[in-house]
Chains A and B, each alone.
Chain A
Amino acid sequence: MTVAITASEGGMPHNKALAIGLIGAIICLYLTYVNAYLPQPLFSFFGGLAAVLALWWGTDTVKHLCSYGLGTGVPSAGMIALGSGVIAMLLGSKLSAMGFISTPLIIPIGTVIIAAILGIIIGFISDKIVNMNIPVLMVSLAELCMVGAIIIMGLTAMATGSFVFADLVSGSTTFFGIVMLDTTSSYLGGCVIAVVFMLGALGVQHAFNACLGPNESQDRTLMLAAECGFLSMITVSIISFAFVSFLSAILSFIISVIGWVYTYRKYFELSKRDAFMWLDAKPIREKEA
């Protein structure tokens, strides 16, 4: 006997969350490209903000999808989102090197389009071939694939200051004061993308998975999604010390900590608002008594 997944009705319409998340995240991704014109990659943290927006939107999608009952629990949605998203993101990051359009400005929008197509196909497979018969499945998996690709691209841009494939594979090590080219110390050569992958996979499902229940409320769930995003940003900003300048990494770190403290406190307040009672060191309240 298990608990039914229940979610609240009402609140912000899903399409509004989609629009804010998608457009905001793409704008943030483009802002990281300003790094190319700066002496230091100071705009890296915008990549993290793109990931936060994508998580925020993705959480609403997961909620929308999982209220139908997939039979496999909420976390699988995060896994399929990031599993397909990472492929779309890697292909997208190489778009500028393929000879069609040489400007890296194609990358963010191109990645989102590739992810949407891949997501629609996977959604079609789940809905029609595996025969799940869930009306929102196709659209939701397309959204989740886009969310996954944007999260990985955003956090990648935050860690390395760039989302261009050529920058992700070049690394250098300092050996007795001499800088040497070494691909093993690059972002993809060290497979740091695995960290970003798992941060996204857990982040995108955690907020709804943690808040589901009869008294789930949208603003609290979405606040938790933002909190997960900023928490992921903190860890990525620490990793970014290995790739970007000290000042940029510190800037990313400070912004993530501020964002995290704010959202975490806010989440506590909202939980206090929604909770039946807020007790400290009190015994079990028996209903009959």
Chain B
Amino acid sequence: MEELLFGIGISAIAGALATVSGAAEDTESDIGSQGDPNSQVQLAPQMGYIHRIFSKAISGEPPAYGLWITLGAGLAWALMAINYNPVLAIILGSAIAVFVQGVYATTAYLGRTASLAKFEQPVYIDVIKSVTTVTMAHAFVAIFTCVTMCFLMVNALGHPFPLPLMGLVWGIALGAAGSATGNPFYGKERQYQSQKFGAGVPISASGNIVRYAEAGQRSSLDNGWFTSKLGGPASGVCFGLIVFLELWRTIFFEEFAGGWGAVIAGIILILIFMIVDRYIEVWARKTYGPYTEEKTEEAA
């Protein structure tokens, strides 16, 4: 019983850490403008819209976070191997991983922007100075919480994977969850704020991203302020739920039916999520209604 309570407690902490990690990850990627929405930042100068948005073209979020988390975990592992205190080791490991992230960010902005010289997009060097540090700060939160979560899974829950491999697994999952959930909100609602709410961006409007703010010119820092209202928390909830439910179903139900209990619990959870998703979909169809007159079967 005590073991079970301990396991549930660790799952709860891991879930909480994952939630923070997911939220920080998405906010970081939106401030730096990483992943799919960045194609529009890249496209804008070609369409004649010069801008001052950061362009952090470091592959997509899953490989990038795969590296940052694995690096943080690997460095923490190595420091623990030479008898550093785990807390200190994780902090130092995350800090060095963030340094690597910052360097990658600056080179990505310089590279992409300099390659756009043909479209008269200048390199705004102050953008690097002001934005990089902010993305690094958010990345530190994401990396530190995720590496701590992995450390708990290895050392408190006894998962067989060593820490760096665990970092690789959850780093890629973190990037996948964060980019899937957070990208549309940044891509549509923030970059194309001038477009109507409740519709996709028409393909003809591609590249016409919002470049001016309420006062002055839009800075990438404002993107974090905006996306932390929905995109960030949603990504956090997404990754937190994944981690928490994965651990919870295993720890709580693995005792039953020789391990099959956890599998059945997982199937039930998937079905519940499926029903919720269907409810949301139907709600959207009813509430937002058909945009055009629906063709009936008889007419067709």
Instruction: A79 to B175: give the CA distance in the assembly, Å.
Output: 15
User: Is there an interface contact between A211 and B115, defined as CB atoms closer than 8 Å?
Assistant: yes
Instruction: A241 to B82: give the CA distance in the assembly, Å.
Output: 8
- Annotate B153-193 by CB proximity to A: 1 below 8 A, 0 otherwise: 00000000111110110010000000000000000000000
**Would you call B265 an interface residue if the criterion is a C-beta within 8 Å of the partner chain's C-beta atoms?**
no
User: Is there an interface contact between A210 and B164, defined as CB atoms closer than 8 Å?
Assistant: no
**Would you call B100 an interface residue if the criterion is a C-beta within 8 Å of the partner chain's C-beta atoms?**
yes
Stretch among B62-70, B137-145, B233-241 lining the A interface: B62-70
User: Is there an interface contact between B114 and A215, defined as CB atoms closer than 8 Å?
Assistant: yes
Stretch among A18-26, A33-41, A125-133, A201-209 lining the B interface: A201-209
User: Is there an interface contact between B78 and A192, defined as CB atoms closer than 8 Å?
Assistant: yes
**Would you call A242 an interface residue if the criterion is a C-beta within 8 Å of the partner chain's C-beta atoms?**
yes
User: Is there an interface contact between B48 and A206, defined as CB atoms closer than 8 Å?
Assistant: no
- Chain B residue nearest in CB terms to A196: B74
B59 interface neighbour in A75, A190, A195, Cβ under 8 Å = A75
- Chain B residue nearest in CB terms to A6: B115
- Annotate A202-233 by CB proximity to B: 1 below 8 A, 0 otherwise: 10011101111111100011001001100100
User: Is there an interface contact between A239 and B52, defined as CB atoms closer than 8 Å?
Assistant: no
Q: List 6 A-B contacts (CB under 8 A).
A: A190-B163, A198-B71, A202-B67, A210-B107, A240-B78, A287-B50
- The residues of A that contact B59 with a CB separation of less than 8 Å are 73-75, 78, 202, 205-206, 209
Stretch among A50-58, A94-102, A110-118, A270-278 lining the B interface: A270-278
User: Is there an interface contact between B78 and A199, defined as CB atoms closer than 8 Å?
Assistant: no
| Total interface residues in chain B, CB < 8 Å | 65
**Would you call B242 an interface residue if the criterion is a C-beta within 8 Å of the partner chain's C-beta atoms?**
no
A157 shortest CB reach to chain B, Å: 16
User: Is there an interface contact between B110 and A271, defined as CB atoms closer than 8 Å?
Assistant: yes
User: Is there an interface contact between A191 and B100, defined as CB atoms closer than 8 Å?
Assistant: no
Known: A202-B64, A278-B125, A284-B217. A192 touches B39 (CB 8 A): no
**Would you call B24 an interface residue if the criterion is a C-beta within 8 Å of the partner chain's C-beta atoms?**
no
- Chain B residue nearest in CB terms to A283: B217
Known: A242-B81, A275-B114, A276-B120. A281 touches B66 (CB 8 A): no
- The residues of B that contact A75 with a CB separation of less than 8 Å are 59-60, 63
> DSSP majority for the A interface?
helix
User: Is there an interface contact between B114 and A238, defined as CB atoms closer than 8 Å?
Assistant: no
- The residues of B that contact A267 with a CB separation of less than 8 Å are 107, 110
Instruction: A216 to B116: give the CA distance in the assembly, Å.
Output: 8
**Within residues 215 to 259 of chain B, which ones have a CB less than 8 A from any CB in chain A?**
217
Instruction: A73 to B71: give the CA distance in the assembly, Å.
Output: 24
User: Is there an interface contact between B203 and A1, defined as CB atoms closer than 8 Å?
Assistant: yes
User: Is there an interface contact between A280 and B211, defined as CB atoms closer than 8 Å?
Assistant: no
Known pairs A213-B114, A215-B115, A276-B116; list 19 more (Cβ under 8 Å).
A2-B39, A2-B43, A73-B60, A191-B164, A198-B171, A201-B66, A202-B67, A202-B104, A211-B114, A213-B118, A214-B115, A215-B117, A220-B111, A227-B107, A275-B122, A276-B121, A285-B120, A287-B50, A287-B120
Which of B67, B103, B112 has most chain A Cβ within 10 Å? B67
- The residues of B that contact A180 with a CB separation of less than 8 Å are none
User: Is there an interface contact between B74 and A195, defined as CB atoms closer than 8 Å?
Assistant: yes
- Chain B residue nearest in CB terms to A224: B107
User: Is there an interface contact between A198 and B75, defined as CB atoms closer than 8 Å?
Assistant: no
User: Is there an interface contact between B43 and A279, defined as CB atoms closer than 8 Å?
Assistant: no
Known: A73-B60, A75-B60, A275-B117. A239 touches B123 (CB 8 A): no
**Would you call B124 an interface residue if the criterion is a C-beta within 8 Å of the partner chain's C-beta atoms?**
yes
User: Is there an interface contact between B162 and A191, defined as CB atoms closer than 8 Å?
Assistant: yes
**Would you call A189 an interface residue if the criterion is a C-beta within 8 Å of the partner chain's C-beta atoms?**
yes
**Would you call A170 an interface residue if the criterion is a C-beta within 8 Å of the partner chain's C-beta atoms?**
no
User: Is there an interface contact between B78 and A241, defined as CB atoms closer than 8 Å?
Assistant: yes
Known: A74-B59, A210-B112, A281-B126. A3 touches B64 (CB 8 A): no
- The residues of A that contact B115 with a CB separation of less than 8 Å are 211-216, 274
- Annotate B32-61 by CB proximity to A: 1 below 8 A, 0 otherwise: 000000010011001010111000011110
Instruction: A254 to B111: give the CA distance in the assembly, Å.
Output: 26
